[in-house]
Structure 1
């Protein structure tokens, strides 16, 4: 290995560690990368989904979910969100930086993927993108990769969370919908039932990518990203609504400490399973992505449930 490559590896590791401190730092890192490399669409998708993860985390300490859910379950659910997003960033951000430095030095550096335990599947996809420039295929590949990254260590191991009645109800009622806000107060997005199913999660990711980069809506979502500092509080987008809800959820860094993770397993998922052909098929839309009224209805359901619980207990 060349001396410059060793230095590059150290730099990438340091930048990844800095960006992977918490949800806020991840969101900023993804979205800043997209502003430098708009051809890597997944980085913007990851940033917007990361914002949603922050909102979901802070919901747990907000005035409604803290009444509905017990402290133990809320803490475990936070750790699950945190670990899933940490693992994805830990794997994906070095890939983004390898691409960045490849463009800087004018030659592909994806042979260095092995030093970050990046799958051969993704190494091949980056080489393909470098050669052919197929943006949509790279987005899909990264979606496939991220969901497989969390499948074993998070989805299957966190049985306390994903097999609980509370998670089933949340899943069934679509409270875990991913939202893409705009600065005019409108909300768009999509949801998935049976979150434990990897095929469903990949399908959701592809639908979200299609929505995010739709010709009419992308400028609105990008404006929101540029104008809105991520805090984890839902006021990030409530502030743009006609009747904003003020401070129903806290800012993330005001309620959660930094979590120190251990990487643990380094076995690559593509050594144990094959990539399904259907994962690359264009997704089907079965719902209206305009969710402004739907969101208001779900908020009323949530508030009613919290009030009923307090009344009963």
Structure 2
């Protein structure tokens, strides 16, 4: 890329590369990780890669031995679409920002005035400009967390179809009741760490979760273990990627690319700027981590509970036929 390239060509290049890497959960997870490896000052990219891994595991759970027997085909489809659509939407918004920062470094000047042309919120344009001058890595990470959760709030969380077919359904409520909407950071030592979100549909709760996860991920004494896992263990989407390190002998969910097709998405009529000039400073405050962050035994106990619940639901369905 020479210095003669036009802004229009630059934005088209960013959009094309983003689309290529936004193919499915595995391509997104890997893209975030590779970006962090090249630009470790953008901590959000590694957090996004871990959260994306967790989304992949949640997707294949739908076809695995845990949830599969208790879910109808329609329930599986809608739950998968929720994970897939939300993660696709976040990537389509966030990755162009990451690429523009990368190009700003290459050109040695800020190019964030191009963010509106990429459909990115005015909130993030101001935050990227601030980061360019102040280099506050934590503030930028928090800004990206705030932005991503606002990005999915209207098109996913408040979407009447997702409300009806996902958030108001019994399987989703069961996961909420059992506190199983949890993001896990595994280690190859077989120890799992993580944080749960209490009310997934609450924007404030998801932002709080994101900030707590960021504090856990970059905790100095734990970060090397998490980073080793994500570098050493390829992401297949199967939960066995993590469970085998804790002694699991059998695969509870399949490889993602063997059970779900690539979905063609469109942004038409979806993207609007969520930011309307509100004072967001309160959202940049740190959140305390829960007292218990080591969740290995808790994790397997919850899996057993959920297996029992969904097996019972499957038995009841068959009994009433």
Shared fold (TM-score, shorter chain, > 0.5): yes
**Residues 15-26 of structure 1 mapped to structure 2, 5 A cutoff:** 15-26=17-28
Q: Say if 2:188 is the partner of 1:183.
A: yes
**Residues 281-296 of structure 1 mapped to structure 2, 5 A cutoff:** 281-296=285-300
**What stretches of structure 2 of length at least 5 have no aligned partner?**
none
Q: Say if 2:306 is the partner of 1:302.
A: yes
Deviation of the 1:253 alpha carbon: 0.4
Distance 1:44 1:14, change over 3 A: same
Distance in 2 of aligned mates of 1:244 and 1:175? 19
Deviation of the 1:238 alpha carbon: 1.7
Query: Match of 1:178, SS?
Result: strand
Distance in 2 of aligned mates of 1:269 and 1:311? 44
Checking the alignment, whether the CA contact within 8 Å between 2:195 and 2:290 is kept in structure 1 is no
**What stretches of structure 1 of length at least 5 have no aligned partner?**
none
**Residues 1-313 of structure 1 mapped to structure 2, 5 A cutoff:** 3-157=5-159, 158-160=162-164, 161-241=166-246, 243-264=247-268, 265-271=270-276, 274-312=278-316, 313=319
Per-residue deviation, residues 192-234 of structure 1 (Å, max 9, x unmatched): 1111110000000000000000001111010001111111000
Distance in 2 of aligned mates of 1:37 and 1:130? 14
Deviation of the 1:310 alpha carbon: 4.5
Checking the alignment, whether the CA contact within 8 Å between 2:65 and 2:253 is kept in structure 1 is yes
Deviation of the 1:168 alpha carbon: 1.7
Deviation of the 1:72 alpha carbon: 0.8
Deviation of the 1:307 alpha carbon: 3.6
Distance in 2 of aligned mates of 1:172 and 1:245? 28
Query: Match of 1:184, SS?
Result: coil
Query: Match of 2:283, SS?
Result: helix
Per-residue deviation, residues 230-282 of structure 1 (Å, max 9, x unmatched): 110001112212x21422101110000010011022320003x7254331111
Distance in 2 of aligned mates of 1:276 and 1:7? 33
Checking the alignment, whether the CA contact within 8 Å between 1:48 and 1:180 is kept in structure 2 is yes
Checking the alignment, whether the CA contact within 8 Å between 1:88 and 1:150 is kept in structure 2 is yes
RMSD over aligned Cα, in angstroms?
A: 1.5
Distance in 1 of aligned mates of 2:170 and 2:33? 35
Distance in 2 of aligned mates of 1:163 and 1:208? 26
Checking the alignment, whether the CA contact within 8 Å between 1:238 and 1:246 is kept in structure 2 is no
Deviation of the 1:74 alpha carbon: 1.3
Aligned residue pairs total 311
Query: Match of 1:189, SS?
Result: strand
Superposition TM-score, scaled by structure 1 size: 0.96
Distance in 2 of aligned mates of 1:299 and 1:194? 19
Superposition TM-score, scaled by structure 2 size: 0.93
Distance in 1 of aligned mates of 2:48 and 2:133? 23
Distance in 2 of aligned mates of 1:98 and 1:34? 14
